Amino acid sequence: MHHIPRLSEAVYVGMCRYVGSPTEVRIRREVTDTEEVMNRPVWITRGLDRMKSGSHREGLRLPTSDRDFMFWLPDHKVICDVSQISLYLIPQHTVILMECEDLTPGFARLKIMTPSEDQKVKSSCVPTDGGI
């Protein structure tokens, strides 16, 4: 009797042909990691830290994929719990609390806990009932 592949196997094979094998995707991730380690000193001297994100960072090279980057100020620290504020030196660090409760999955609310001297950060902030 002729074996008919299961749909999941056919999808897997098709995806491997389209985006690459798991090994190719892993190598792309490792190359991206290496590039970022090598380029980090250049970005830090410009006063920023940077990393790729999104599907490109995950090793997927789809024709319609864009390239996503995250930039941040190295002296701005994001914490997930208010108790972590004691880990940083104030005023040398601007501390930002990331809140995820009562929000759509994949979204976060950022709350400035200590003042920022950066004009772009200041202009991006809005007052709310619970802070800025």
Q: What integer pLDDT is reported at residue 98 of this predicted model?
A: 95
Residues 41-99 pLDDT 10s: 988 888 889 999 888 888 888 888 888 998 889 999 999 999 999 999 888 999 999 99
Q: Does residue 115 surpass a pLDDT of 90?
A: no
Helix ranges (H only) for 50-130 are 54-57, 119-124
Q: What integer pLDDT is reported at residue 110 of this predicted model?
A: 93
Q: Does residue 5 surpass a pLDDT of 80?
A: no
Residues 18-29 pLDDT 10s: 889 999 999 999
Residue of 50, 42, 45, 43 whose CA lies nearest to 67:
50
Q: Rounded CA gap, 103 and 40, in Å?
A: 32
Neighbouring C-beta atoms of residue 81, cutoff 10 Å: 8
What are the residue ranges spanned by the domains of the chain?
A: 1-72, 74-125
CB 122 within 8 A of CB 116: yes
Q: What integer pLDDT is reported at residue 22 of this predicted model?
A: 93
CB 121 within 8 A of CB 102: no
Q: Report helix, strand or coil for 76.
A: strand
CB 111 within 8 A of CB 92: no
Q: What integer pLDDT is reported at residue 47 of this predicted model?
A: 86
